[in-house]
Amino acid sequence: MEVTVIGCWGAYPKQNEATSGYLVEHGGTKILLDCGSGVLSHLQNHCSLEELDAVVITHIHADHIADLYSLEFAILILTQIGKRTSPLDVYLYCENPDKLAFCFPDYVYVHPIVIGETVSIGTVKLDFSENVHDVPCCAVRLTSEEGRTLVYSGDTGYCQSIIDIANSADVLLIESSFYNWQKGKMEGHLTSGEAGEIAASAGAGQLVLTHFPHYGELEEMIKEASRHYDGPITLASCDMKITI
Ligand code: ZN
């Protein structure tokens, strides 16, 4: 299984980059995790839109969903001109998917994510858990046919459920919205120290921090996480690939 970081910024994209978006590939299966601002353009450096099988949306904050409606238009047009032959499956965690602004139900199939129900997309199985965030938000555990695992946190505050779903994951890709000095100042997100604590408690094999703030020295986040977790730690970056 291979993950490509399409975007790693919280809130808004850095110049020429993107907010949350991660392409997961296994065999011929191609899954996009979140589709924030700038993701649709950058995704095409790594995957043609004709080949994308599914999108998984952890929650409906703009930095995770902003480009999804443009992607819907892309699927419509690519189908009309004969370049794409199948609809796009969108798995989505929110209170009421019927209220979202999708316009073309024949081209984008929306599937509500239900915690506790496993989803199969091609050769990958996905499980979900409930996060602590100010809108409903889920974490995702992806398991390949070979049993290799990636856990992506989406957005969350510190909670037992993210530790549980990350249990023994080969790679934990987890949000790190704040530095340690900001701990307790805003709920529903993690500091880098907390991300390290979660990786240690879960026994994750590798920690990748993401969903960054636009200030401070991001390298500090590795130091803060490493006080709790002694495995390998990296900062996500645009176009970075992780083989799992
Ligand atoms: Zn959010």
CA 99 to ligand 1 centroid distance, Å: 18
Residue 186: the pLDDT is: 85
Distance 100 CA to ligand 1 centre (A): 16
One-letter identity of residue 76: L
Written as six digits, the tokens of 194 are 């907390």
Encode 49-84: b = buried (16+ Cβ within 10 Å), e = exposed: beebbbbbbbbbbebbbbbbbebbebbbebbeeeeb
Give 104 Cα–ligand 1 centroid separation in angstroms: 26
Mapped onto helix, strand or coil, the DSSP state of residue 52 is coil
Rounded to the nearest angstrom, the distance between the alpha carbon of 119 and the centre of ligand 1 is 22
Residue 4 alpha carbon to ligand 1 centre in Å: 21
How many whole angstroms from 53 Cα to the centroid of ligand 1? 24
pLDDT of res. 61:
97
pTM confidence score: 0.98
3-state DSSP call for residue 161?
Answer: helix
Distance between Cα 182 and ligand 1 center (Å): 17
pLDDT (0 to 100) of residue 99? 85
- How far apart, in whole angstroms, are the C-alpha atoms of residue 94 and residue 116? 15
Domain span at 92 = 2-243
Ligand 1 centre to CA of 137 (Å) is 8
Report the separation in Å between the CA atom of 78 and the middle of ligand 1, taken as the mean of its atom positions. 30
End-to-end CA distance of the chain: 5
Q: Look at residues 134, 108, 132, 129 and name the one whose alpha carbon lies nearest to residue 54.
A: 108
Which CATH number goes with the domain that contains 125?
Answer: 3.60.15.10
Could you tell me the distance, in angstroms and rounded to a whole number, from the CA of residue 151 to the centre of ligand 1? 17
Q: Which protein residues have their CB within 5 A of the ion that is ligand 1?
A: 61, 155
Per-residue pLDDT in tens (0 to 9) along the chain, 244 residues: 999 999 999 999 999 999 999 999 999 999 999 999 999 999 999 999 999 999 999 999 999 999 999 999 999 999 999 999 999 999 999 998 888 889 999 999 999 999 999 999 999 999 999 999 999 999 999 999 999 999 999 999 999 999 999 999 999 999 999 999 999 988 999 999 999 999 999 999 999 999 999 999 999 999 999 999 999 999 999 999 999 9
**How far, in Å, is the centroid of ligand 1 from the Cα of 11?**
8
Ligand 1 center to 155 CA (angstroms) = 5
Distance 20 CA to ligand 1 centre (A): 10
**Number of structural domains, the chain?**
1
How close is the Cα of 144 to the center of ligand 1, in Å?
27
